[in-house]
Amino acid sequence: MNVDYLLKFYWPHGRVEVGELELSDESPDNPGLTFRCIATVLIVLFAILSTASIRATVKLADQRNVIFDRLGTADGLSQAVVTAITQDTNGFVWIGTQEGLNRFDGYHFETFLHSENVAGTISHHFIRSLLSDSKGILWVGTDSGLNRYNEVDKTFDVFYLNSESHTGGLENAVYSLVEDSKQRMWIGTEIGLTVRSPSGLFTHYHYNDKDPDSIGPGSVRAIYEDEEKSLWVGTCLLYTSPSPRDS
């Protein structure tokens, strides 16, 4: 019984034929044939590994040749210190700075600034955080309140999350915004953590030194939901050194 065996594999460009072996019913007693089979398999493995190595090298080379385009105040950005970036469902890129919110359409910037005497303007010029949620709504965290953008008339609805102060101020600063897998929005503020339900209900979590299960002290600066749906919250507690007269 004779069987012709042709082994082929493919390079990224073109086909390579390794070899053709003729097997017979006497092959178990033929050590030379066994050696040729092993050698052929080794050639194939070497070719596969070499191809993977070449592709990895090419990817690394591409990374080394990354080119950055720069956009600044000369291009229309309101201020040079960028604090937050997101993209909405319409493709606009929103850029928060210390002096206003910017919407970039790929060609031009449109700036949104706070104005004391104009209704519907953003609550503060210092932008801390941005979120485009699963419903396509843009949320903006500022140094004084949470803002919801109304796309139709380009105005903002303002939410002050400190129950004791509804007039703005640093106690209403919003540092981080995250939407979880249940479409709840978690909001990191100067005084703790707030969650907004899909129906619009706000629930607040604050540090309580008498409750070991309460959130830690300090402002909430970072929020993350992991693959197991657990929520991670990073806080910032600032300490001040005593003055010489107090020491």
* Confidence at residue 161, expressed as pLDDT on a 0 to 100 scale: 86
Amino acid at 60: L
Task: Please give the Cα distance from 160 to 167 (Å, whole number).
Answer: 7
* Confidence at residue 56, expressed as pLDDT on a 0 to 100 scale: 53
Q: What is the DSSP letter of 185?
A: E
Residues 6+ apart with CB under 8 A from 177: 129, 130, 131, 139, 141, 185, 186, 187, 188, 223
Task: Yes or no: say if 194 and 161 are a contact pair by the CB < 8 Å rule.
Answer: yes
**Model-wide pTM > 0.75:** no
Low-confidence ranges of the chain (pLDDT < 50): 1-27, 33-35, 37-42, 44, 239-247
Instruction: Give the CA distances from residue 27 to residues 20, 23, 35, 39, 144, in Å, rounded to whole numbers and listed in that order.
Output: 15, 6, 11, 16, 83
* Confidence at residue 175, expressed as pLDDT on a 0 to 100 scale: 97
196: exposed, middle or buried (C-beta count within 10 Å: 0-12, 13-18, 19+)? buried
* Confidence at residue 67, expressed as pLDDT on a 0 to 100 scale: 86
* Confidence at residue 66, expressed as pLDDT on a 0 to 100 scale: 82
Residue 22's beta-bridge partner residues?
A: 4
Task: Give the Cα-Cα-Cα angle 111, 117, 123 (nearest 5 degrees).
Answer: 55
Task: Please give the Cα distance from 181 to 187 (Å, whole number).
Answer: 15
CB count, 10 Å around CB of 188?
25
* Confidence at residue 46, expressed as pLDDT on a 0 to 100 scale: 53
* Confidence at residue 2, expressed as pLDDT on a 0 to 100 scale: 46
